[in-house]
Amino acid sequence: MPELEDNPLTLGPLLRYVGETSATVWVQTRDRAKVTVRAFGRSWDAPTFTAHGHHYALVVLDGLEAGASSEYEVEVDGATAWPPQGPGVDAVTASLPPSRITTHAHSEPTRMAFGSCRTSVPHDAEGNKSNGVDALRAYAFHMSRTDPSEWPHLVVFLGDQVYADETSEAMREFIASRRSLEEPPGEELKDYEEYAHLYRLAWTDPLNRWLLSTLPSAMIFDDHDIRDDWNTSQDWHREMNAKPWWHERIVGGLSSYWVYQHVGNLSPEDLAQDEVWQLITEYAASGAAGELDLTEVLDSLAARVDAQPETYRWSYARDLGESRLVVVDSRAARLLTPDRRSILDDDEMAWLDGQLRGDVDHLFIGTSLPFLMAQGIHDLEAINEAMSNGAWGPRVAKWGEKMRRALDLEHWAAFQDGFAKVLAMVVEVAHGERGAAPGTITFLSGDVHNSYVTEIDHDQLGPGASRIIQAVCSPIRNPLPRQARIAQAMLGKGLARPLQFLVGRTSKVPNAPYQWPMTEGPWFDNNLATLQVRGRGLVMRWDLGVVEGDKYDEPDLREVARVVIS
């Protein structure tokens, strides 16, 4: 949205958590202020806190009625800041419906959008030529022309909401205004201030800003939110920590992630248990003068969590009426020592063990990295892990480590110990050993820049078991070059039989206990996916954005695929 000099709202509002009786609204303001949200004939307010000179607030709305809907406004120090008003409002913003909050009705079947990997480049002819049409922006335009009763209940962003290592021209201009691009880390982000600008670029387009103001969102990071291949291996971790600029980068990345993404993921009940949020509420309750400055608190938290991941949890869960969403951090809490690799450390694994339960219609597991890769790639990553662990000697181990990093072999399959443990938990849920078996257990993922659906062979699971699905939607806006698409499609399918033959004839590599054929895909368009619960089944749809002629502010949706899980 173009700058409005008299508007004190710098970014947002973002409608984040919405449950049956509560909701949260996140904003960034120009100055220290009191932020008020008016909806449902009531008002709620919160003072801003500051971090690195920027001002933020998360307003908690409580005591709401389930299944209710209301337009809302945001005031900053008593003046209406959203919806924006006055002659400076652009035509796109002026044409959009009012933002609204709609609470969950417990018995209403879940509708959920999801996707990952979105770059922030202009939405003009040049930007669309290089990065394709932004599927999120097209989704926003389509939503604005449909009845609110048809909107999803939330959108789940499964990683790479921002790219800290592959910057746009606008981001590079900002970096160059602060420091030389010739000095490390060059065109990549260096600190919190640069992250704050990156989020601003990602979330200020009028259509996307409106969507984020009216569609509740859940988020989890992936590697590009920090840096490509984040925590691939111990060698990667050691190499990055030796770089003089890395400490400031990881601290800026994680502290800004808490502010811009993580705090909005949490329900009011989970917020009450969060160590940083407790400082915010205690300060507000004390009546102290001035604004709470969390700069040192957040930087210390980020440094601590990078060194000791078990001391803070980025994973979380949300109840969605009769279904449940569990979002798993598959990046920050890894065990990386060659003698004991796992994509989740012991504490995170124990937490997930407690979350994977039945007694729901559907269990959704959000993880940025696909749990079930194409079976050929799964076997390749398992073989590579055995190589890197020294199964064929130290020389092969060194080559295996280089191969691991060069080919991005760092998904769940490349951490076989963690994969096996989580698969065992999921199968127990599917068999009704952890409460009544859900209709489906569906992994929602991104990362791989292609979309597909795969399913564990139900005959192997046995009668009465839940269907175990992997649904991937990637990218929202960052397509692979055509040659890379062809290579990836051939790799996934062409390697399946020869690598399965190899794995089956060695005891050094775990043999996958189930088969999971790819039932749909892959397709490589910029997409945003939507799933809808239909009794014990699901209907899923992938949509891409299209622009007719030069109507760049009127992108629409075109269906790429529709998948019915009956």
Q: Give me 248's structure tokens.
A: 């400031």
pLDDT at 7 (0 to 100):
84
DSSP string, 392-423: T-HHHHHHHHHHHHHTT--SGGGSHHHHHHHH
Mean pLDDT is lowest, of 99-113, 340-354, 400-414, for 400-414
Residue 545 has pLDDT above 80, yes or no: yes
Q: Provide the CB-side half-sphere exposure for 366 (13 A, CA).
A: 28
pLDDT digits (tens, 9 = 90+) for 308-362: 999 999 999 999 999 999 999 999 999 998 888 999 999 999 999 999 999 999 9
pLDDT at 2 (0 to 100):
40
pLDDT at 503 (0 to 100):
73
- Over the chain, what is the mean pLDDT? 94
pLDDT at 485 (0 to 100):
80
DSSP string, 280-302: HHHHHHHT-SS-EE-HHHHHHHH
Residue 490 has pLDDT above 90, yes or no: no
Q: Percent of the chain having pLDDT more than 70?
A: 97
Note every long-range contact of 167-175, with CB atoms under 8 Å and residues 24 or more positions apart, other chains counting.
167/198, 168/119, 168/120, 168/121, 168/201, 169/121, 170/120, 170/122, 170/201, 171/120, 171/197, 171/198, 171/201
Residue 72 has pLDDT above 60, yes or no: yes
Q: For residues 538 and 519, give the distance between their C-alpha atoms in angstroms, rounded to a whole number.
A: 15
Q: Give me 296's structure tokens.
A: 């040192």
Q: Are 82 and 74 in contact (CB under 8 A)?
A: yes
Per-residue CA distances from 42 to 48, 253, 284, 322, 336 (Å): 20, 36, 20, 28, 50
| Domains delineated in the chain | 9-565 (3.60.21.70)
- Average pLDDT, stretch 56-72? 98
- Average pLDDT, stretch 65-94? 94
pLDDT at 376 (0 to 100):
86
Mean pLDDT is lowest, of 240-249, 263-272, 281-290, 526-535, for 281-290
Q: Percent of the chain having pLDDT more than 90?
A: 86
pLDDT at 3 (0 to 100):
47
Residue 150 has pLDDT above 90, yes or no: yes
pLDDT at 496 (0 to 100):
65
- Residue 507: pLDDT band (50, 70, 90) is confident
Q: Provide the CB-side half-sphere exposure for 201 (13 A, CA).
A: 25
- Residue 4: pLDDT band (50, 70, 90) is very low
- Average pLDDT, stretch 43-66? 98
Residue 495 has pLDDT above 80, yes or no: no
DSSP string, 465-486: PPEEEEEE---SB-PPPHHHHH
Count of CB atoms situated within 10 Å of the CB of 191: 19
- Residue 267: pLDDT band (50, 70, 90) is very high
Residue among 266, 258, 253, 248 at smallest CA distance from 294: 258
Place of tokens 């951090």: 329
DSSP state of 373: -
Q: For residues 73 and 58, give the distance between their C-alpha atoms in angstroms, rounded to a whole number.
A: 14
pLDDT digits (tens, 9 = 90+) for 157-169: 999 999 999 999 9
What are the respective helix, strand and coil percentages of the chain, to the nearest 5?
35, 25, 40
- Residue 542: pLDDT band (50, 70, 90) is very high
Residue ranges of the alpha helices (H) in 135-231?
135-144, 169-176, 192-203, 206-214, 223-226
pLDDT digits (tens, 9 = 90+) for 197-212: 999 999 999 999 999 9
Q: Give me 79's structure tokens.
A: 């003046």
| β-pairing verdict for 292-293 and 49-51 | parallel
Mean pLDDT is lowest, of 100-114, 219-233, 417-431, 509-523, for 509-523
- Average pLDDT, stretch 176-197? 98
Per DSSP, the three-state class of 557 is: strand
Q: Are 39 and 18 in contact (CB under 8 A)?
A: no
Count of CB atoms situated within 10 Å of the CB of 359: 14
pLDDT at 155 (0 to 100):
98
Q: Which residues neighbour 117 within 8 Å (Cβ) at sequence distance 6 or greater?
A: 159, 160, 222, 224, 446, 447, 449, 474, 475, 476, 477, 478
Residue among 369, 421, 347 at smallest CA distance from 232: 369
pLDDT at 135 (0 to 100):
98
Query: How would you label 209-232 residue by residue, b for 16+ Cβ within 10 Å and e otherwise?
Result: bbbbbbbbbbbbbbbbbbbbbbbb
User: Which element (helix H / strand E) includes 316?
Assistant: strand 316-320
Q: For residues 328 and 316, give the distance between their C-alpha atoms in angstroms, rounded to a whole number.
A: 7
This prediction has a pTM of 0.96
- Residue 493: pLDDT band (50, 70, 90) is low
| β-pairing verdict for 323-328 and 9-18 | unpaired
pLDDT at 491 (0 to 100):
67
pLDDT at 338 (0 to 100):
80
Q: For residues 243 and 85, give the distance between their C-alpha atoms in angstroms, rounded to a whole number.
A: 47
The values of phi and psi at residue 146, to 5°, are -120, 165
